[in-house]
Structure 1
Amino acid sequence: MLMKKHLTLESKAELEGLATRNGWTLRHAIQSGIDNPDSSIGIYAGDSDSYAMFSRVFDPVIREHSRYDMRGHPSDFSLEGLPTENLDPEGKFIVSTRIRVGRNLATYAFPPAISAGDRARLEAEIVGVLLGLTGELTGTYHPLGGMTEEERQEMVDGHFLFKQGDRFLESAGVNRDWPEGRGIYHSSDKRFLVWVGEEDSMRIISMQEGADIAEAFTRLKTALDAIGGKLDFASDEIRGFHTACPTNLGTAMRASVHIKLPLLSGQPGFERICDELGLSIRGLHGEHSEALDGIHDISNKYRLGITEREIYWGLYDGVRRLIALESALARALSWQ
């Protein structure tokens, strides 16, 4: 666990008496790691101030996890000069594409630390902006507490709606006041979604069936330009956009595909190949889940110290190579 590795007795003694303006303390920050010794990170931020006040712990965790030298985080959404054609027009390999970012607002605590009153005010402020979106982003907002169980489960099963946080988020305080102050906004075609009040105040998502990564990326940029013009996102020049979990700092972007790799994923070197391509592997239903019928969730491993453009290219090129390897194995099998 990185928190345990980098929280020295000296820094613990120095930081124990401190609290941010939202009352977030070192104990709050590390509680999830204390409760869950199998956690890989073990520390959460309750607000933007957390990263500065408890930097003696957060910064070394960030450096090691993200391989980041803390010298400044760049941003670039341009796709100029990069290939944008559909990687799998026949749909043989890629089931769907999803690109999301996490965002918190500078004037509020993050979900682990926010009060019930501020949670309601934050929801109202965000929803007011979302309901003003136009064009393909036009949609409706559904408060989580106002859904029937059937409606909620249908959205969860369709990968549109988040579930109550796992034990790691529970210990961090993310699940407090559930389900109040939480909900989902989605466009009529459900290619654009915003989760309100999950692990971060906003998870802004562009998703669609198939392999058109460029289309999903461009839609997300359009949405961020519109929303970011109305809301003040928490960020700084070193850590990029602030998120509750330090693993999401920087672009706070996770660009992913659900991809069928039944042959390649059965090879002993599959995880090594993905790691060398800068890609992470999850199961079909996200983190801590298993693959199903050879379908894996493949995404960028790093978010901090690289640009959105680099994340796009890393996923695009990495998926192209995985498809080539899977196709080669299929051809070899057919020759036998």
Structure 2
Amino acid sequence: MVSAEVLEKLETEFKKLEASDSKSLLKKYLTREIFDQLKTKQTSFGSTLLDCIQSGLANHDSGVGIYAPDAEAYTVFADLFDPIIEDYHNGFKKTDKHPPKDFGDCDTLGNLDPAGEYVVSTRVRCGRSLQGYPFNPCLTEEQYKEMQDKVSSTLSGLEGELKGTYYPLAGMTKEVQQKLIDDHFLFKEGDRFLQTANACRFWPTGRGIYHNENKTFLVWCNEEDHLRIISMQMGGDLGQVFRRLTTAVNDIEKRIPFSHDDRLGFLTFCPTNLGTTIRASVHIKVPKLAANKAKLDEIAGKFNLQVRGTRGEHTEAEGGIYDISNKRRMGLTEYQAVKEMYDGITELIKIEKEL
């Protein structure tokens, strides 16, 4: 049973959202009818509608405003999640099915910028959740510790280029911390959207970072998702970056089963990050295109690309360097998602040269 206290809070905050000029997808799709239909529902982990939408209720400037407190929430609260997923993922309807995993042939993706004139660095990441555990808001302190043990022992089995060290956040020395900050590896607590989604409890327990010796392969444990697996390097060799990620993901999956759904693909905390969960991005300098940001956004949009500031969402472009990535993560394979980014960036560079 959903408690009277939760119902009261839902009611009060819902009215504030209704009256606000919020542009979030939550406001767009949470009608009174849907609200009344879902407000008394719960998952077997005990997650309520409030657990899903509290971040969007607290932050009216959210773009999306909803998270899944556990994998079941996508089903129990489907009447709200489905239209938001369809809107964000370019028409991925509730009758659609995400295709099976396919990393394709990495060798067909070459270097985006062999001369090194435009692409500063290349990065491909994906999110994964461990089967049998809820997502952040519902995890107990014990589960955080248990998951970190599983993850660190799994990663310590990686070999070759992927071999590296796991650094738990709890008890981390100032020197190690500074070194990881300097490398831009360390994630920190305090994102208000995650805070209000209740995703930062028991911090820093159960959180940590793994990286290989070359600093080209990185795993975040229990930041926003259970796992963020990241492959990156300077320059534009997307094929090499993607191949490293593929090897790592397949290797880890042999040891830890991931949460997966036949319809939605790989399940993670944020509905913007389902399906392949792949985000392939470059830091790129296109000064002529960037002189007209609206034009840059328009061209990028044609290729299903998303333009962000240098340090990602909600940041500015520093020194004219933009972070540009694929937007679509659902309804296409891992290979197709990365290929969209490859084709789009190739085209942007071509346009920049012609200006």
Question: Which category describes the TM-score, using the shorter chain as reference length?
Answer: over 0.9
Q: How does 1:34-49 map to 2 (within 5 A)?
A: 34-49=57-72
**Residues 122-133 of structure 1: matches in 2 within 5 Å?**
122-133=147-158
Q: Which moved more, 1:83-92 or 1:233-242?
A: 83-92
Is contact 1:165-1:199 (8 Å) kept? no
2:302 corresponds to 1:276: yes
Correspondence 1:242 to 2:272 = no
Q: Deviations over 1:144-201 (max 9, x none)?
A: 1232344324323422222224111110011111111101011111111100011100
CA deviations over 1:43-74 (Å, ceiling 9, x no partner): 10011111111111111111111120231101
User: Following the alignment from structure 2 to structure 1, what is the Cα–Cα distance between the partners of residues 175 and 39?
Assistant: 45
Q: Which amino acid aligns with 2:102?
A: D
- 1:157 and 1:272, CA in 2 relative to 1: closer, same or farther beyond 3 A? farther
Q: CA offset at residue 14 of structure 1? A: 2.5
2:136 is matched with 111
The match for 1:199 among 206, 224, 228 is 224
Residues 127 and 288 (structure 1 numbering): CA distance in 2 closer, same or farther, change over 3 Å?
Answer: same
- Distance between the aligned counterparts of 1:216 and 1:164, measured in 2? 28
Residues of 2 paired with 1:57 and 1:84: CA distance? 37
Corresponding position of 1:265: 290
Q: Distance between the aligned counterparts of 1:58 and 1:42, measured in 2?
A: 11
Greater shift in the superposed pair: 289-298 or 105-114: 105-114
Partner of 1:14: 37
Coordinate RMSD, CA, aligned: 1.4
TM-score (norm 2): 0.89
Cα distance in 2 for residues equivalent to 1:184 and 1:313: 28
Distance in 1 (CA, whole Å) between partners of 2:307 and 2:174 is 31
The two structures have a TM-score, normalised by structure 1, of 0.94
Contact 1:22 1:114 in 2 (8 A): no
CA displacement 1:204-227 (0-9 Å, x = unmatched): 011111100011111111011111
Match of 1:76 in 2: 102
Q: Which range moved further: 275-284 or 160-169?
A: 160-169
Please say if residues 97 and 212 of structure 1, whose CA atoms lie closer than 8 Å, have aligned partners that are also in contact: yes
Equivalent-residue separation in structure 1 for 2:190 and 2:276 (angstroms):
22
Q: How far apart, in 2, do the equivalents of 1:190 and 1:230 lie? A: 23
Structure 2 contact 109–339 (Cα < 8 Å) conserved: no
Measure the CA separation in 2 of the matches of 1:302 and 1:85.
Answer: 21
- Partner Cα separation in structure 1 for residue 352 and residue 181 of structure 2: 30
Aligned equivalent of 1:307, options 333, 336, 341? 333
- Aligned partner of 2:44: which letter? R
Deviation at 1:85, TM superposition (A): 2.5
Q: What does residue 332 of structure 1 align with?
A: none
Runs of 4 or more consecutive aligned structure 1 residues displaced over 6 Å after TM superposition: none
Paired AA for residue 281 in structure 2: S
2:102 corresponds to 1:94: no
Identity among equivalent pairs (%): 48
Query: What does residue range 121-160 of structure 1 map to in structure 2 within 5 Å?
Result: 121-160=146-185
The one-letter amino acid paired with 1:73 is H
Structure 2 Cα separation of the partners of residues 247 and 200 of structure 1: 12
The answer to whether the 8 A contact 1:262-1:293 is kept is: no
Deviation at 1:243, TM superposition (A): 0.9
- Greater displacement, 106-115 / 186-195: 106-115
What SS is found at the alignment partner of 1:263? Answer: helix
Which position in structure 2 is the counterpart of 1:59? Answer: 82
- The alpha carbon displacement at 1:258 in A equals 0.5
- The equivalent residue for 1:32 is 55
Question: Which 5+ residue runs of structure 1 have no aligned equivalent?
Answer: 330-336
Q: Residues 112 and 244 of structure 1 are in contact (CA less than 8 Å); yes or no, is this contact kept in structure 2?
A: no
The answer as to whether partners of 2:82 and 2:93 remain within 8 angstroms in 1 is no
Contact conserved, 1:28 with 1:172, CA < 8 A, in 2?
yes
1:311-322 to structure 2, matched below 5 A, reads 311-322=337-348
3-state DSSP of counterpart to 2:122: strand
Determine the C-alpha separation between the residues in 2 that align with 1:46 and 1:121.
Answer: 18
- Equivalent AA in structure 2 for residue 123 of structure 1: Q
